[in-house]
């Protein structure tokens, strides 16, 4: 049976670990030709021998590299903008440098990648009638929920939702859908780093689990299916929406 993404070309940013990795793996298993990218080339070794996946290092803060990569690839059916960074702290802890870094990585990089991808997506739609799907990584933290010590993170992820709706509105009649996902707390390597940065990591993990009503964290593999759905034509009528997968955090 052909996979749900058979015949589609996908680009995933920050695919080296966590949700980007899980999504790239599930996209490939569903038959997409996946271009898995990450700032850290060593992490991309995890894709060695995986069918349908080719890898290339890509720092999404490097505008020229993002444009060159998208230019070199065939038109994208799927662009999954996953890269992002969690700054810990309130407004009092956020320096202008922290602000710029988070906004550049979490929001501006999406603008650059989408701007580079859209012309070829439009041309593909004109030529073939195919629709492209852009999926942006937002978070429960942001316009959905205010969380303590997530000042610039929440600000940036709220902006991702605005960006998503704006792009969706501009191309709703032109063959491009754009949606965002909003995960709750997901057990990924960077979450482990955030937990280990606390003086008492055991207590910190307990706190992260406590804010999840199901009493556990998500696995990255539990977030990937919503991205597969949004990438596939199964979600053909969905655009400009935010899909929360948060274990009940926002009930
Ligand atoms: P992670 O944070 O463990 O891994 C992130 C990956 O991004 C790494 O492979 C890293 O090398 C790569 N990366 C970092 N900077 C990059 C750059 N400039 N260019 C390209 N790649 C870069 O993975 P995760 O926790 O699954 O987070 C992925 C995304 O999901 C982020 O946008 C994050 O904000 C968001 N998110 C995470 C959670 C969570 O609880 N983990 C919840 C909601 C949203």
52-102 pLDDT, tens digit per residue, is 999 999 999 999 999 999 999 999 999 999 999 999 999 999 999 999 999
- Find the 16 Cα to ligand 1 centroid distance in Å: 9
Instruction: Give residue 143's pLDDT.
Output: 83
- Whole-angstrom CA distances from 24 to 58, 91, 196 are 15, 34, 27
Contact by Cβ (8 Å): 37, 15: yes
Q: What atom of ligand 1 comes closest to residue 185's alpha carbon?
A: 40
Report the candidate in 131, 32, 135, 4 with the shortest Cα–Cα distance to residue 80: 135
Q: Which residue is catalytic, options 153, 156, 195, 243? A: 153
- Find the 137 Cα to ligand 1 centroid distance in Å: 9
Instruction: Give residue 183's pLDDT.
Output: 98
Instruction: Give residue 214's pLDDT.
Output: 98
Mapped onto helix, strand or coil, the DSSP state of residue 78 is strand
Contact by Cβ (8 Å): 18, 188: yes
Cα(217)–Cα(86) distance, integer angstroms: 17
Report the candidate in 19, 171, 25 with the shortest Cα–Cα distance to residue 81: 19
Report the candidate in 62, 21, 73 with the shortest Cα–Cα distance to residue 42: 21
Q: For residue 45, report the phi and psi dihedrals to the nearest 5 degrees.
A: -60, -25
Instruction: Give residue 31's pLDDT.
Output: 98
Mapped onto helix, strand or coil, the DSSP state of residue 101 is helix
Q: For residue 177, report the phi and psi dihedrals to the nearest 5 degrees.
A: -105, 150
| 14 C-beta closer than 6 A to ligand 1 | yes
Structure tokens at 54: 């080719």
Q: Which of 12, 15, 19, 250 to mutate to test the pocket of ligand 1 (most atoms within 8 A of CB)?
A: 19
Instruction: Give residue 1's pLDDT.
Output: 74
- Find the 186 Cα to ligand 1 centroid distance in Å: 11
For 103: left if phi > 0, alpha if psi spans -120 to 50, otherwise beta; the answer is alpha
Identify the residue whose tokens are 């060593």.
42
DSSP 211-245: TSTTSSPBPHHHHHHHHHHHHSGGGTT--S-EEEE
Cα(215)–Cα(211) distance, integer angstroms: 8
| 115 C-beta closer than 6 A to ligand 1 | no
Alpha carbon of residue 250 to chain centroid: 20
pLDDT tens-digit profile, the chain (251 residues)? 789 999 999 999 999 999 999 999 999 999 999 999 999 999 999 999 999 999 999 999 999 999 999 999 999 999 999 999 999 999 999 999 999 999 999 999 999 999 999 999 999 999 999 999 999 999 999 989 999 999 999 999 999 999 999 999 999 999 999 999 999 999 999 999 999 999 999 999 999 999 999 999 999 999 999 999 999 999 999 999 999 999 999 99
Confirm whether 153 is a catalytic residue. yes
Detail the DSSP E strand segments found in 25-125.
33-38, 53-57, 78-81
Q: Which of 12, 18, 144, 149 to mutate to test the pocket of ligand 1 (most atoms within 8 A of CB)?
A: 18
């Amino acid at each position: 049976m052909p996979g749900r993404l058979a015949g589609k070309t996908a680009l995933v940013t920050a695919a080296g670990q966590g949700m980007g990795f899980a999504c790239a793996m599930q996209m490939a298993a569903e038959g997409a030709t996946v271009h898995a990218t990450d700032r850290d080339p060593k992490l991309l070794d995890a894709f060695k021998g995986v069918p349908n996946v080719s890898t290339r290092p890509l720092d999404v803060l490097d505008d020229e590299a993002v444009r060159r990569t998208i230019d070199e690839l065939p038109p994208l059916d799927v662009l999954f903008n996953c890269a992002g960074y969690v700054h810990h702290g309130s407004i009092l802890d956020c320096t202008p440098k922290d602000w710029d870094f988070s906004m550049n990585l979490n929001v501006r990089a999406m603008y650059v990648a989408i701007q580079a991808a859209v012309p070829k997506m439009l041309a593909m739609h004109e030529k073939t009638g195919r629709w492209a799907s852009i999926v942006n990584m937002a978070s429960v933290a942001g316009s959905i929920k205010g969380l303590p010590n997530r000042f610039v993170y929440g600000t940036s992820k709220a902006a991702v939702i605005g960006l998503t709706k704006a792009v969706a509105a501009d191309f709703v009649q032109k063959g491009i859908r754009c949606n965002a996902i909003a995960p709750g707390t997901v057990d990924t390597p960077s979450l482990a780093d955030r937990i280990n940065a606390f003086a008492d990591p055991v207590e910190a993990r307990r706190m992260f689990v406590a804010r999840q009503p199901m009493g556990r964290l998500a696995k990255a593999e539990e977030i990937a299916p919503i991205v597969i759905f949004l990438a596939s034509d199964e979600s053909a009528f969905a655009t400009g929406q935010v899909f929360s997968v948060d274990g009940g955090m926002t009930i």
